[in-house]
Amino acid sequence: MTTIFTKIINREIPADIVYENDYIIAFKDINPQAPIHILVVTKKEIPTVNDLGPEDRILVGEAYLALSKIAKDLGVSEDGYRIITNCNSYGGQEVFHLHFHLLAGKPLGAMLSSN
């Protein structure tokens, strides 16, 4: 099943792309939850963290290297930021294509909402 993120990867729908390499694409979240909210999406369609296998070791490492680079490029690495991956229902996952939220640009407060 093709995800909305694969359509962005394939340029079938638009997105504000900030970085791309052989492993990942990074673009601005359409509904930002912080002044900076970037999604780093694996080009390989992996539905959830549960579906990762040993063959994905390099891919996950590359995703984190990209997150680190993007944070530096956007000038938020010293102030700090948060990286989130939601998984399935309790995690609040909406798009079943592995991705990492990079949130930054203000103090982000407690890690969990109060509800």
Nearest to 94 by CA among 44, 36, 29, 35: 29
| Of residues 32 and 75, the one with the C-beta less far from ligand AMP | 32
Enter the tokens of residue 21.
């390499």
HSE-CB at 34 with a 13 A cutoff on CA atoms is: 19
Q: What sign results for the dihedral spanned by CA atoms 63, 26, 37, 35?
A: positive
Shortest CB 31 distance to ligand AMP, Å: 4
Decide: residue 23, CB within 10 A, 0-12 exposed, 13-18 middle, 19+ buried. middle
Q: Which of 15, 24, 26, 34 binds ligand AMP (CB under 6 A)?
A: 15
- The one catalytic residue among 37, 97, 99, 101: 99
| Of residues 54 and 100, the one with the C-beta less far from ligand AMP | 100
Q: Which of 57, 72, 92, 106 binds ligand AMP (CB under 6 A)?
A: 92
- Give the count of residues interacting with ligand AMP (CB under 6 A): 11
**Number of neighbours of residue 86 by Cβ within 10 angstroms:** 16
- Contact code string over 34-73 relative to ligand AMP, x by CB under 6 A: -----x----------------------------------
Q: Is 99 a catalytic residue?
A: yes
**Interface residue list for ligand AMP (CB under 6 A):** 4, 15, 29-31, 39, 86, 92-95
